[in-house]
Amino acid sequence: MQFTADQIAALAGGKVEGDGSAVVSTFAKIEEGHPGAISFLANPKYTHYIYDTESSVVLVSDSFKAEKPVKCTLIRVADPYATVAFLLETAAKLMQPNPVGIEQPCHIAEGVEVPEDAYIGSFAYIGKGVKLGKGVKIYPQAYIGDNCKIGDNAIIYAGAKIYYNCVVGDRSIIHAGAVIGADGFGFAPVDGHYNKIPQLGNVVIEDDVEIGANTTVDRATMGSTRVGRGTKLDNLIQVAHNCVVGHDTVMAAQSGIAGSTKLGSNCMIGGQVGFAGHITVGDNVQIGAQSGIPGNIKSDSRMMGSPATDILKYAKLVVFEKNLPSLYDRVAAIEKELKAKAAAEEIKK
């Protein structure tokens, strides 16, 4: 598919500077631009690429001021990053396949109603009592356990597993290999060994949630483990039993939340962050990568480190740590000088 700069500007609400008839058919990073591609400039450190990029069209902000001539066509928008995300989403809807129907072989339990616009891929398993919403897509080898509810236009990708009694909301996406509703890690020590504590709750994934590949969300011991509306979890994340994650929170890969922890809404969590169990993290919290969270965090905090501390304090600590070798040498030199003076005083006596 091909689009002109004028067509893209009309779609995105932007203003063209240059050749409005310039044609693009693909996307490219600005530093890897080539004819026929559209790129974007959102980060100022990439500004120098705009003067040499081979991309035919580049999205820039309304405030962008060129310091020298550019050969590409510019489309000015309020937010280039948000605009390219919108264009990618639009292109995906046009380009991605939209399978409909039931492939064979697959297993659909007796009594399960499959909407006409749904898709069930080969070797998928749909258990007893499952409720499927309109437009759902269940890809090959996915497993939907008994009495699950899958909302309208939800997507369950190949090999994902949804254990019994769990709920997936409207328009939510569960990527390949994710496991929703496995038993929480509950064991009671008895006479030198561990007895399993039955995990009788479920998992509730609310609307517009995205769960990354090979991420696991454990079922509650009782009640529900819950992931709030609009939250996005990256690949390889662990959410333990009875956790609650608020709405519109984003969490990067390899992070883990221990049991019964409550994570607020609109939080931003870097990769490999570890949360202790039974703690509460407020809303609008930002936590840097590889941080360790041993206790409660107030809303609107910015934290980093292990154990995590205020991010500005952490930055100072990093500077101090880098200076430790030179500080050690200075102290050693002072000690040597003091010993020499002490020895000289002894000789005088």
CA distance 70 to 53: 9
The answer to the question of residue 113 being in a domain is: no
| Average pLDDT over all residues of the chain | 96
CB distance 61 to 76 below 8 Å: yes
Domain match, 247 and 323 both: no
Note if 241 is an active site residue. Answer: yes
Confidence band (pLDDT; 50, 70, 90) for 111?
very high
Q: Which long-range contacts link 90-97 to residues 24+ away (Cβ below 8 Å)?
A: 90/11, 91/1, 91/27, 94/1, 95/1
Domain match, 319 and 298 both: no
Catalytic residue among 48, 193, 241, 278: 241
What's the domain count of the chain?
A: 3
CA distance 56 to 77: 17
Domain match, 295 and 342 both: no
The answer to the question of residue 135 being in a domain is: no
Write down which residue in 69, 95, 121 finishes a domain.
Answer: 95
Domain match, 38 and 7 both: yes
Domain match, 241 and 345 both: no
CB distance 161 to 180 below 8 Å: yes
The answer to the question of residue 114 being in a domain is: no
- Supply the CATH number for residue 275's domain: 2.160.10.10
Domain match, 272 and 255 both: yes
Write down which residue in 95, 128, 149 finishes a domain.
Answer: 95
The answer to the question of residue 109 being in a domain is: no
Q: Is the pLDDT confidence value at 349 over 80?
A: no
For the stretch 249-280, pLDDT in tens is 999 999 999 999 999 999 999 999 999 999 99
pLDDT value at position 139?
98
The answer to the question of residue 117 being in a domain is: no
| Cα dist from 223 to 184, 211, 262, whole Å | 12, 21, 14
- Model confidence, pTM: 0.85
Domain match, 251 and 166 both: yes
CA distance 144 to 123: 12
Q: Which two tokens stand for residue 70?
A: 């550019």
The answer to the question of residue 259 being in a domain is: yes
pLDDT value at position 242?
98
Domain match, 293 and 334 both: no
> Which range marks the domain in which residue 335 is found?
315-349
Strand-pair category, 137-138 with 309-310: unpaired
CA distance 10 to 4: 10
Domain match, 263 and 199 both: yes
**What H or E segment, with its residue span, contains residue 8?**
helix 5-12
Q: Is the pLDDT confidence value at 348 over 90?
A: no
Domain match, 232 and 341 both: no
Place of tokens 């509730």: 204
The answer to the question of residue 141 being in a domain is: no
CA distance 164 to 183: 11
The answer to the question of residue 325 being in a domain is: yes
Domain match, 251 and 329 both: no
Per the DSSP assignment, residues forming a β-bridge with 126 are: 108, 144
CA 273 to chain centre: 12
DSSP secondary structure code for residue 30 in this structure:
G
For the stretch 45-67, pLDDT in tens is 999 999 999 999 999 999 999 99
- Supply the CATH number for residue 20's domain: 3.40.1390.10
Domain match, 296 and 348 both: no
Place of tokens 């939250």: 231
